[in-house]
Amino acid sequence: MKKFNIPLFISITVLSLFGLLMVYSSSYIWAEYKYNDPYKYLKSQCLFLILGIITMLIVSKIDYKKYYKYSSKIFSACFILIILVLFIGTERNGSKSWFGIGSFGIQPSEFMKLAMIIFTSKYLYNNKKDIGNIKKGVLPILGLTLIIFILIMLQPDFGTGIILVMGVIGLLFVGGVDLKFFLKIAILGILGIIGLIIAAPYRLKRILSFLNPWTDPLGSGFQIIQSLYAIGPGGLFGFGLGSSRQKHFYLPEPQTDFIFSIISEEFGFMGVLIVSSLFFFIIYKSIKIALKCEDLFGKYLAFGIVFILAFQATLNLSVVIGLLPVTGVTLPFLSYGGSSLLITLASMGIILNISKQNK
């Protein structure tokens, strides 16, 4: 067994601590106005960061093979939670995705992402001989994924749902499913997205504002315009920590989905480069760990976690710079959000344990 992967752990911790700093920098104006406490979001995120790092260290000591044994129970528990949240969840910004616990909120769909990766990894390991058979090997897990996606969409939470689906598809690709099948899935996915847009007019507004934000600069195009106003003037070194202009009631709740805009404004291109490099290093090291893992379940598990992390980060950054419509997806390690941070750090704990057991 190898020693603890120190470079990966340090990179994760540094990025998370920087996220804590930026949560405070981007939120204190709004927090003081709304709660009369500039440290409101900082205190919440600090608590979850401490819990997250402790969880990561504990999980890094748990043999990842135990998740194979308990995958069905983990999945079932998360499945029950995403059903319950539809009935007894707390509604925020038009989405019923949280269980309210005092001033905190727990988002079960975040836990479902990891549970689905664990369950799919076990499924692929047990059915590796049938994976070439679409009906017998692939459709059952895709059908289950579709059910989970529908339940998450009922909240509604399109961003989390699409990340979960892409994580499963990435695992199927690693598992050896024929490439032609993915082309068919892509066509069905595009048709499905069109259907979802037609079913909910607010999504069509997001698409139109994405194509031309200035068609509704004070409505659906407001966020992306303010985000670009934050990113554009940053220059090489930015305005300096705490000196963002857009967080002064221009960019709505910048500590969440659009925290990268504030990073760009305050630290400029160099800040963006450092953050991007840390993300790249974490993903690169995690892929390397997955490739070196000789146990097939561990390999699938590591790849699934990497796919979720990479796709979520790419999706968030694409939205922030205007390449994709607004989806409401947080930036891992950096955005304000206790459930997202806790699950991301726990997932990294699994990667660290797999790394320790690689030869």
List 105's β-bridge partners, or say none: 100
pTM value? 0.91
Model confidence at 55: pLDDT above 60:
yes
Mean pLDDT along residues 308-337: 88
Q: Which of 53-67, 76-90, 120-134, 217-231 has the lowest mean pLDDT?
A: 217-231
Comparing 154 with 8, the larger pLDDT belongs to: 8
Model confidence at 25: pLDDT above 90:
yes
Average pLDDT taken over every residue of the chain? 87
SS3 at position 92: strand
Mean pLDDT along residues 264-269: 93
Cβ proximity of 333 and 19 under 8 Å: yes
Structural domain boundaries in the chain = 6-357
Residue 264 pLDDT level (bands cut at 50, 70, 90): very high
Residue 220 pLDDT level (bands cut at 50, 70, 90): low
Give CA–CA dist 135/356, Å, rounded: 37
Token pair of 203 as six digits: 């999504």
Give CA–CA dist 91/266, Å, rounded: 32
Q: What integer pLDDT is reported at residue 274 of this predicted model?
A: 93
Q: Which of the listed ranges 189-198, 264-273, 321-330 does the model predict with the highest average pLDDT?
A: 264-273
Q: CB burial class (10 A; 0-12, 13-18, 19+) of residue 314?
A: middle
Model confidence at 1: pLDDT above 60:
no
pLDDT digits (tens, 9 = 90+) for 41-52: 999 999 999 999
Give CA–CA dist 352/4, Å, rounded: 7
Model confidence at 290: pLDDT above 90:
yes
Residue 129 pLDDT level (bands cut at 50, 70, 90): confident
Q: Which of 41-50, 123-132, 141-150, 255-264 has the lowest mean pLDDT?
A: 123-132
Model confidence at 345: pLDDT above 90:
yes
Mean pLDDT along residues 164-170: 91
Residue 200 pLDDT level (bands cut at 50, 70, 90): low
Model confidence at 209: pLDDT above 70:
no
Comparing 200 with 106, the larger pLDDT belongs to: 106
Q: Helices 108-126 and 139-153: crossing angle, nearest 10°? A: 180
pLDDT > 70: percent of the chain: 92
Mean pLDDT along residues 307-323: 90
SS3 at position 183: helix
Place of tokens 């344990």: 353
Comparing 135 with 267, the larger pLDDT belongs to: 267
Q: What integer pLDDT is reported at residue 248 of this predicted model?
A: 86
Give CA–CA dist 194/191, Å, rounded: 5
Residue 102 φ/ψ, nearest 5 degrees? 65, -130
Q: What integer pLDDT is reported at residue 235 of this predicted model?
A: 84
Q: What integer pLDDT is reported at residue 64 of this predicted model?
A: 93
Q: Which of 61-65, 70-74, 238-242, 281-285 has the lowest mean pLDDT?
A: 238-242
Mean pLDDT along residues 74-99: 85
